[in-house]
Amino acid sequence: MISKIVKSGLTRRTFLKSTAVTAMSAGLPGASLAAGNTIKIGFLAPLTGAVAAWGKPGLDGCQIWAARVNAAGGIKLGDGSYNVEFVSYDNEYDPAKARTGATKLIREDGVSFIMMLGGDTWPGVQPVAEKTGMLFSTLLPSDLSPDTNMLIAPAEVHPIYNVTGVEWLAETKPELKTAVMCAQDDALGLPSVATYLAAFEAAGIEMLDEPLLFDPATTDFAPVVTRLISKNPDIVCLDTCYSDYVHPIAEQLFQQGFKGQIISCTADFYDQMIAKTSEDFMEGFVFQFPDFDDPALNGDNINFTDPNGFYEEFNRRHPGQWGAVSWEYASIMDLWKAAAEKAGSASPDAVAAAMKEGKGKHAFGDADWWGTELFGIDNALVGDWPVVAIEKGKARIKDFRSIPAWYAKHGDLLVKHMKAYDQMWDQRS
């Protein structure tokens, strides 16, 4: 956690310098295809621990993606066709373990590409990326900076898409005038806080209190919720809290009698929240991640192949485990495969160049590579994003909203709040 790094006396910059020495001494070879007719892809994410819900379901989705691609003849490069195989490493959302994992995946496993959740783990990996030239992906564009030219964010544009949920809420429920917010105090929570504050300000919704930033070690959320609802807000925003926090907070909101609107970045395993509260309590809960059996995902704008079939297969293999990231790493692989086949090579630099030529085929529609204004580099694929609400116990897409269109009108607010929380790229370095 960034907070732990600071408490130990290390800044992000000194941490990077210290880890760079280790990475450089490792003597990493350049990336190359594995022997035989298989391309190996690294999956470096939390598979256990509090953040596992944003890692493990993604790996499960990738295995389905690999089965589909291999059954269809594999990845076709200039010198033939290759099956794809994922090699995973559980970084436990720890930057040092992420650094070890990146080194192993490149040096010992010979992967051609590494996917990460990012966030607090990226500072551990960045020196390895700089040394080896490996292409990495993150689900968190807030990892991006001008120093990360081989890091891309082609699927999720966290936390910027959160503006779409607030914008939709303000237009469809104009009677909601006030809000409060909580988040864990870390690299996932803070940029999301800044984004929600910008979105609420743009929508004319008043914040009744400063965002409540709780320690990631918190287990008792009764006092958190008591403070949140003490000012009688119309909206309680759960920011980008981990599932292990969203569930007990929602349960406390139910037990303490909150009757207002809830908005959250995610609602992973929302059926469990319904079971702990009620279908009525969860009705209208707004978040940003659809189930892929949603009819709205069958439109011509969607670039994810057979989303309904993917969802059905995922639930057949892993019943009750569908979450926000189940499709995201697979979506990244769609982009990676298309770029590798276009380049005729799995070489990281060739794939990166091919991937960024023209518009990108984002899962929710064609999108542009963007980000210089916020991240100092155009390595985030940004376009439309769905707004999802729970209706009668089921997640349903209510609308697709344009992130660039929102930014064109309110980008100054986002920059203002990002600066206030030290989340601009030049403040994070």
Residue 17, pLDDT score: 38
Statement: residue 3 has pLDDT above 60: no
Q: What percent of the chain has pLDDT over 90?
A: 84
Statement: residue 8 has pLDDT above 60: no
Mean pLDDT of the chain: 91
Statement: residue 14 has pLDDT above 50: no
Q: What's the mean pLDDT in 234-262?
A: 96
Beta strands 286-287 and 384-391 are antiparallel
pTM, two decimals, is 0.86
Statement: residue 250 has pLDDT above 50: yes
Backbone φ, ψ for residue 282 (5° rounding) = -85, -5
Q: What's the mean pLDDT in 154-161?
A: 92
- Rounded to 10 deg, the angle between the 12-25 and 95-107 helix axes is 30
The C-alpha atoms of residue 327 and residue 138 are separated, in whole angstroms, by: 14
Query: CB neighbours (10 Å) of residue 261?
Result: 18
Q: What's the mean pLDDT in 60-72?
A: 97
Residue 4, pLDDT score: 33
Query: In three state form, how does the secondary structure of the chain look?
Result: CHHHHHHCCCCHHHHHHHHHHHHHHCCCCCCCCCCCCEEEEEEEECCCCCCHHHCHHHHHHHHHHHHHHHHCCCEEECCEEEEEEEEEEECCCCHHHHHHHHHHHHHCCCCCCEEECCHHHHHHHHHHHHHHCCCEECCCHHHCCCCCCCEEECCCCCCCCHHHHHHHHHHHCCCCCEEEEEEECCCCHHHHHHHHHHHHHHHCCEECCCCEEECCCCCCCHHHHHHHHCCCCCEEECCCCCHHHHHHHHHHHHHCCCCCEEECCCCCCHHHHHHHCCHHHHCCCEECCCCCCCHHHHCCCCCCCCHHHHHHHHHHHCCCCCCCCCCHHHHHHHHHHHHHHHHCCCCHHHHHHHHCCCCEEECCEEEEEECHHHHCCCCEEECEEEEEEEECCEEEEEEEEEHHHHHHHHHHHHHHHHHHCCCCHHHHC
Q: What's the mean pLDDT in 211-224?
A: 96
The C-alpha atoms of residue 187 and residue 282 are separated, in whole angstroms, by: 28
At 157, the pLDDT band (50, 70, 90 cuts) reads: confident
Query: CB neighbours (10 Å) of residue 226?
Result: 11
Nearest in space to 296 (alpha carbons), one of 171, 416, 395: 395
Q: What's the Rg (C-alpha) of the chain?
A: 21
Span of 18-27, 288-297, 378-387 with lowest mean pLDDT: 18-27
At 36, the pLDDT band (50, 70, 90 cuts) reads: low
Statement: residue 108 has pLDDT above 80: yes
pLDDT in tens, 184-197: 998 889 999 999 99
* Tokens of residue 65, six digits: 């993606």
Nearest in space to 232 (alpha carbons), one of 249, 248, 250, 256: 256
Statement: residue 255 has pLDDT above 90: yes
Place of tokens 């544009």: 157
Nearest in space to 332 (alpha carbons), one of 86, 163, 36, 132: 86
At 13, the pLDDT band (50, 70, 90 cuts) reads: very low
Top-confidence residue, 13 or 396:
396
Nearest in space to 231 (alpha carbons), one of 177, 180, 175: 180
Q: What's the mean pLDDT in 239-243?
A: 92
| Contact call for residues 70 and 83 (beta carbons, < 8 A) | yes
Residue 429, pLDDT score: 57
